[in-house]
Amino acid sequence: MEKRKIVIVGGVAGGASAAARARRTDEQAEIIMFEKGPYISFANCGLPYYVGNEIGDRSALLLQTPDSFKARFNVDVRVHHEVIAIDRAAKQVKVRNVQTGSEFTESYTALVLAPGATPIKPPLPGIDLPNIYTVRSVPDSDAIRAFIAKEGAGRAVVIGAGYIGLEMVENLHRLGMQVTLVEKADQVLMPLDPEMAAFVTLTLQNMGVEVVLGDGIAGFAEGAGRATAVRLESGRELEADIFILGIGVRPDTRLAKAAGLEIGPSGGIVINERTQTSDPAIYAAGDAVESVNLVTGTKGLMPLAGPANKQGRVAGANAAGDSLTYPGAIGTAIVRVGDTVAAGTGLNERTARKLGMNIRTTYSMSGDHADYYPNAQQMVIKLVWEAETGRLLGAQAVGGNGVDKRADVFATAILARMTVEDLTNLDLAYAPPFGSAKDPAIVAGMVAQNDRRGLAAMVAPGELAARLEAGEDLQLLDVRESYEFFVGAIPGAVNLPLDEVRGRLAELDPARPVVVYDQNGQKAYWASRVLKQNGFASVSVLTGGFVVWSASQAARTFAPVF
């Protein structure tokens, strides 16, 4: 049998995974990996934490070197080498040594493309000034650290409130800088719905970070050969010593396009379940490819480390003669901002409604472990589920400790096509330091189950706000203690503490619709059961309680209208 020759373009997550799996699949194959940068297999997700000195050892970011990769996997790794063209008919790639400029060709039996994505840098005035940085590679983070060390930067503007942007805000703040965050959308962290993202915005503000929403950038002012301020579309100028672009990334498909490979509507390389492109001899993996969304069945970009590594593993195995498949992903992600952790998986409400799905949303609030055990931290959970079947479509969680665990539980449930009723029967580990007998994931399922079974009709904060603004004749019943009501309540609400409801039913009109709420939803559910079984015709529970209502109202005020 002819000896295989596998050429891999790109040496970070997808490429390195492909090379390692290809070697484990075929010990005799010749494997060559080309990487145009100076490093392979580096932890680019750790770059913000290296900038902020939370990761102090630079070498910890370099998971493999060309020499270590050669020693362990017998892969010929050539850094500073850029593949500039593909001759599909001849099964050859044209390669340029970026240090010397020399060019040569290399043949292949199978080719794996893992070029990744490039940071978005809009063509704006001053965008290329030297103190404006992106965070995509080790040299990027080296440059930021060097600039801060040399200049003693005290003020920073981070542009873009996605995962990288938020991580950079946290780490620049950690270094003692005065940080301003600018985001063109009307919320931070677009994978979350606005009321859930509002908790992150409030955390940023409590940290002393200025958050500017609903305002894009128009360019940069220059002075002494560097950027001195960013100009916003509103006309406002924000002065700073250093500027970080976290606007997003776009798939690097230049090589694939030039070779005539199929590109999908989202701009990524089209692959099948075996990660083959439209040319069966060419595989692709990572941020440059389209992935199938396993909730909707549609294809789109999903530039996350988990999918990239799994795609690379499949591509490497199949390039070496195996037959693995990669079905797709659901887009699970998490971020820490100060003492707040936010995670999302599957569909958010905004996307589901845009797709025309008939959905319900419910909220719950629970401690990460038993309340009687010290230092329990509350988390808010939002579930998005299919109204007809109860199938879980998406989940979001914001809190502190334990958010990651619940996000992973929900991600597994979505992948398994479980319903919200299935969540109520999960058998999860419990001891007081780790969880509760009714885990937050189980409680979230119970709240949704109550809604599905008609035990408690849930009304979402946005729906209640719309009904109030429309002048609907509602009785708003706040069943918290009087001191909680005094601190803050929904306008127009009356306060009947839960333990007094049975004895004061005469103060309410059973013929008028009642919406019951408390701090987080639990007491309101109990009160609603009392009302429904005492002749009240229309009783609803504000899902998420006053906590989520307040976040929802805050989300409506964050972004100014110019």
Strand, coil or helix: 94: strand
Q: Which residue type sits at 407? A: A
Tell me the C-alpha to C-alpha distance, in Å, between residue 464 and each of 450, 475, 480, 493.
Answer: 19, 12, 18, 12
Residues with active-site annotation = 45
Helix residue ranges, H only, 348-470: 349-354, 403-415, 420-424, 440-452, 461-469
Cβ atoms within 10 A of the Cβ of 345, count? 29
Where in 5-148 does DSSP place strands (E)?
Answer: 5-9, 30-35, 76-79, 81-87, 92-97, 103-107, 110-113, 117-119, 132-134
Cβ contacts of 254 within 8 Å, gap of 6 or more: 115
Tokens of 2: 């002819």
CA distance 466 to 453: 25
Q: Which residue type sits at 73? A: F
Tokens of 402: 């334990």
**Residue 200 CA to its chain's centroid (Å):** 13
CA distance 456 to 441: 19
Cβ atoms within 10 A of the Cβ of 347, count? 26
Strand, coil or helix: 320: coil
Main-chain phi, psi angles of 6, to 5 degrees? -110, 125
